[in-house]
Structures are given as structure tokens and as C-alpha cells.
Amino acid sequence: MRKVNMEPEKKILMVCLGNICRSPLAEGIMRAQVIEKGLNWEIASAGTGNWHVGQAPDRRSIAAAKALGYDISKQIAQQLTFEMLTYYDHIFVMDHNNLRDVQSLLYDKERKSKIALFLADEQNVTDPYFDNALFEPVCKQIEDRCKELIEILSARG
């Protein structure tokens, strides 16, 4: 009998500050799109801070995701660990502050090369936490970028 390899082909981590707004949106949306395409990828998210560990995503993120057909309500916030930086193949951060914070945890170029801003062209994903009106546009921006990242990462093999 042939043994099936269940190891994910790609392991992707989304990172923001508190892991309740942007990175859970990116995790949930990317996971749903990956499943829809039948890809064997592992998707997770974490925050650089520990304020919300153990909590569900912000209710406004849940609502914005739901409006686009995604359910992120069961996700639980966790804090980024050094082990995560070793385990995941690709680490996408939501803004330049997250990038600096994550890179400061690493000492070698190999691991640092796994880290990139989520958006193209060195742009930040705006943190919607203090502005209710930003949640839906940020969610849509994340949805569009997840589609692009799946194409880019699939092409790399």
C-alpha cells in the first residue's frame, strides 16, 4: 500500500499586531481560497503582541469577512513565537512595523528571507482597529491579495 504524504506543500503564516483584525482576515480568506483550489497548504496567523491571545477575531473583522462569504469566527488569536518563524515557509506581515518586529526576532538571512510584506509594492495593510469604516475595504483588499498570492506561490512550485 502506498503511503500518502500529508505534510503540507506550503506553510504560510500571516502576522499583524494583535491577531484580531488583519491577520485573521488574511488567514481565513487564504485558507478558504486554498481549500477551494484543492491545495495542500497550511495557513495560520499570529500577532506580534500578546494583548488578545485566546480571543476570537474582532467582531468587525468577523462581520466584514462574513459579508464576503468567509467565516473566521472560530479562529483564536495567538502570539508569534520563534518556533513559528522556523516552521512556516512564508511569513506575510501586514505593515512595516510588523516587518521590523518580526525581523528583529531573527538572526539569520535564511529565515529573514521568508518574511515579506503582505501587499505588493512595499505597501501597508491599513489597520482598521480605530475606524469602523475601514474593515470592509481592508477585507476586500486582503481577499484580492490572497488570490494574487495563491497564483504567485503556486507558480513557484
| Residues labelled catalytic | 16, 22, 127
How many CB atoms sit inside 10 A of residue 4's CB? Answer: 5
Dmax (CA) for the chain in angstroms is 56
Residue type, position 109, single letter = K
Beta bridge partners of 79: 47
Write down the residue that cell numbers 513559528 correspond to.
Answer: 84
CB-CB contact of 127 with 16 (8 Å): yes
> How far apart are alpha carbons 151 and 92 in whole angstroms?
15
Residue type, position 58, single letter = D
Least Cα distance to 14 among 26, 6, 31, 4 occurs for 26
